[in-house]
Amino acid sequence: MKLKPIKSEQDYRDALKYLEIIFDAPINTKDGDDAEILSMLIENYENIHYPIDAPDPIEAIKIRMEELDLRQKDLIGILGGKSRVSEILNRKKKLTVEMIRDLEKKLQISASVLVNNYQLEVI
């Protein structure tokens, strides 16, 4: 297959099929170089036509909790008391700047994810 820009859905499907064939090609070979270039072309097409939005802040917290095998009680002290944790995770209360800072430090969640499309509670 001759490498070319991916301009249509058919080009995209063809590129995926070809990448599947050459995916395991050794580095520094023609097929290896083609696989690297094709991967970049596919990624660019997907970023334009199939963008993935960042999860909302509460979903990001829940995902991170799952990754770290944490429960709601483990967020006591980070988000406040037991009832405050529940209110935050059930979207009844909003995160404060202090909570975001604590989540960023203790759970390694980027502050930019936590403030993305989110109204902060001013206290």
What is the 3-class SS of the chain, one letter each residue? CCCCCCCCHHHHHHHHHHHHHHCCCCCCCHHHHHHHHHHHHHHHHHHHHCCCCCCCHHHHHHHHHHHCCCCHHHHECCCECHHHHHHHHCCCCCCCHHHHHHHHHHHCCCHHHHHCCCCCCCC
pLDDT tens over the chain, length 123 residues: 789 999 999 999 999 999 999 999 999 999 999 999 999 999 999 999 999 877 789 999 999 999 999 999 999 999 999 999 999 999 999 899 899 999 999 999 988 888 865 555 555
User: What is the residue extent of each domain of the chain?
Assistant: 9-49, 57-115
What local confidence, expressed as pLDDT, does residue 120 receive? Answer: 53
What local confidence, expressed as pLDDT, does residue 89 receive? Answer: 95
Q: 57-115 — its CATH code?
A: 1.10.260.40
pTM strictly above 0.85: no
